[in-house]
């Protein structure tokens, strides 16, 4: 059956593209350790990024998800979106919301954007801004309202910590009040800043279990129109699962290198040098490599290895 294995696809089904590592906030849960001064020195230039967008369009890849860093903080992001939109490529956007004024909301509503996720990590400004220093609760929630008013069906994303887990049900209610379509959450990922401060900020497994139970009970009791999307795995489980069944995707980081997963430091291809076709072959080969399998096995016993997640280790044998 076609699609049963990543090997069945001649090209990826989607691209996850981090346009920059710069962001206005310094969220304590940030997997990529983004921030106002955290742009990579070698991020793709505007001409390079536009060329990559054209290559994605020409390859017939149906879906591109943009994250970061803050994708809307990149001046040429809109040009990239337009190139892809004209080719019929569907878009997803992960954002902290501060760039979505009325004009930006109008532009997004006119594009083939299938999913816009805005992070709101609390039901109150005090909690949200404690988890997301530099981010504005008012800006994020107002942006959700703007998008909902234009029929864009935004999604609220909530990263659980010891600081905000007590507000998860109230945040779910807020998502409904603002017009969200989906409330997205899952176990805190032990990556980036969260990994560095894990013992202080991560909820226990039992605290997270109770939070999930409370969410589900609230959704059932209120019959809310806001769907729950609760990611089922912690990061080590995800790595093990993807090892046995890789996604048909390419993760492109800000300097154009291709990684296997945000938790894995391996970069088997570089789109400054390699074509998308070559990168796709290198990606599939890398998942079969002993080097990757051994690293994932080691992470089970030593989660501290996840400190390397945001590195880009070359894999010369993978291509």
Q: Is residue 319, in this structure, part of any structural domain at all? A: no
Percent of the chain residues topping a pLDDT of 90: 95
> What is d(CA 79, CA 93) in angstroms, rounded to the nearest whole number?
14
CA distances from 34 to 14, 199, 254 (A): 23, 21, 11
* Angle at CA of residue 128, ends 38 and 16, nearest 5°: 45
Of the pLDDT bands very low, low, confident and very high (cuts 50, 70, 90), residue 7 is confident
Q: Is residue 260, in this structure, part of any structural domain at all? A: no
Residue 60 pLDDT: 95
Q: Is residue 271, in this structure, part of any structural domain at all? A: no
Structure-block tokens of residue 2? 């076609």
Q: Is residue 172, in this structure, part of any structural domain at all? A: yes
| CATH code of 135's domain | 3.20.20.70
> What is d(CA 145, CA 130) in angstroms, rounded to the nearest whole number?
22
Residue 200 pLDDT: 96
Residue 318 pLDDT: 45
Please say if the pLDDT value at position 3 is more than 70. no
Percent of the chain residues topping a pLDDT of 70: 97
Count structural domains, the chain: 1
Looking at per-residue pLDDT, the higher value among 17 and 11 belongs to 17
Please say if the pLDDT value at position 56 is more than 60. yes
CB 20 within 8 A of CB 70: yes
Which contiguous run of DSSP H or E holds residue 47?
Answer: helix 46-59
CB 190 within 8 A of CB 211: no
Q: Once rounded to an integer, what is the mean pLDDT over residues 159-169? A: 98
CB 184 within 8 A of CB 155: yes
The residue range of the domain holding 223 is: 11-232
Residue 296: closest CA among 231, 238, 255, 246: 238
Of the pLDDT bands very low, low, confident and very high (cuts 50, 70, 90), residue 239 is very high
> What is d(CA 181, CA 168) in angstroms, rounded to the nearest whole number?
16
Q: Is residue 126, in this structure, part of any structural domain at all? A: yes
Please say if the pLDDT value at position 11 is more than 80. yes
Residue 4 pLDDT: 54
Q: Once rounded to an integer, what is the mean pLDDT over residues 34-59? A: 97
Residue 263: closest CA among 229, 240, 245, 294: 240
Q: Once rounded to an integer, what is the mean pLDDT over residues 85-96? A: 97
Strands (E), the chain: 14-18, 63-67, 90-95, 113-119, 155-158, 182-185, 227-230, 249-252, 257-259, 266-267, 269-270, 313-314
Q: Is residue 135, in this structure, part of any structural domain at all? A: yes
For 60-78, write each residue's pLDDT tens digit. 999 999 998 999 999 999 9
Looking at per-residue pLDDT, the higher value among 277 and 3 belongs to 277
Residue 319 pLDDT: 41
What 3-state class would DSSP assign to 171? Answer: helix
CB 18 within 8 A of CB 252: yes
Please say if the pLDDT value at position 163 is more than 80. yes
The model carries a pTM of: 0.95
Arithmetic mean of pLDDT over the chain = 95
Q: Is residue 131, in this structure, part of any structural domain at all? A: yes
Q: What are phi and psi of 192, to 5 degrees?
A: 55, -135
Q: Once rounded to an integer, what is the mean pLDDT over residues 148-172? A: 97
Q: Once rounded to an integer, what is the mean pLDDT over residues 98-119? A: 97
Q: Is residue 211, in this structure, part of any structural domain at all? A: yes
> What is d(CA 17, CA 57) in angstroms, rounded to the nearest whole number?
14
Structure-block tokens of residue 24? 């206005």
**DSSP category for residue 165:** G
For 261-319, write each residue's pLDDT tens digit. 999 999 999 999 999 999 999 999 999 999 999 999 999 999 999 999 999 999 865 44
CB 84 within 8 A of CB 106: no
């Amino acid at each position: 059956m076609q699609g049963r294995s990543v090997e069945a696809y001649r090209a990826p089904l989607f691209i996850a593209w981090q346009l920059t590592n710069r962001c206005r906030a310094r969220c304590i849960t940030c997997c990529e350790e983004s921030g106002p001064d955290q742009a990579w020195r070698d991020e793709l230039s505007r001409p390079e990024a536009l060329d990559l967008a054209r290559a994605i369009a020409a390859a017939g890849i149906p879906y591109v998800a943009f994250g970061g860093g803050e994708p809307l903080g990149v001046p040429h992001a809109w040009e990239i979106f337009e190139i892809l939109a004209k080719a019929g490529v569907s878009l997803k956007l992960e954002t902290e919301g501060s760039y979505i004024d009325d004009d930006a909301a109008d532009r997004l509503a006119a594009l083939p954007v299938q999913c816009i996720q805005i992070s709101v990590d609390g039901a109150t400004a005090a909690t949200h801004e404690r988890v997301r220093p530099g981010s504005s609760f008012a800006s994020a929630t107002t942006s959700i309202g703007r998008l909902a008013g234009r029929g864009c069906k935004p999604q609220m994303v909530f990263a659980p910590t010891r600081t905000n887990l007590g507000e998860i049900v109230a945040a779910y209610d807020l998502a409904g009040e603002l017009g969200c379509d989906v409330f997205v959450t899952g176990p805190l990922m032990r990556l980036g800043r969260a990994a560095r401060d894990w013992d202080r900020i991560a909820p226990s497994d039992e605290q997270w279990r109770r939070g999930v139970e409370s969410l589900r009970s609230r959704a059932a009791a209120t019959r809310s129109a806001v769907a729950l999307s609760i990611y089922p795995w912690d990061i080590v489980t995800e790595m093990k699962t993807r090892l046995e069944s890789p996604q048909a995707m390419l993760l492109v980081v800000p300097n154009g290198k291709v990684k296997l997963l945000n938790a894995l430091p391996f970069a088997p291809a570089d789109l400054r040098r390699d074509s998308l076709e070559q990168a796709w072959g290198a990606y599939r080969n890398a998942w079969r490599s002993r080097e990757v399998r051994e690293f994932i096995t080691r992470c089970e016993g030593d989660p501290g290895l996840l400190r390397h997640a945001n590195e880009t280790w070359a894999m010369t044998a993978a291509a």
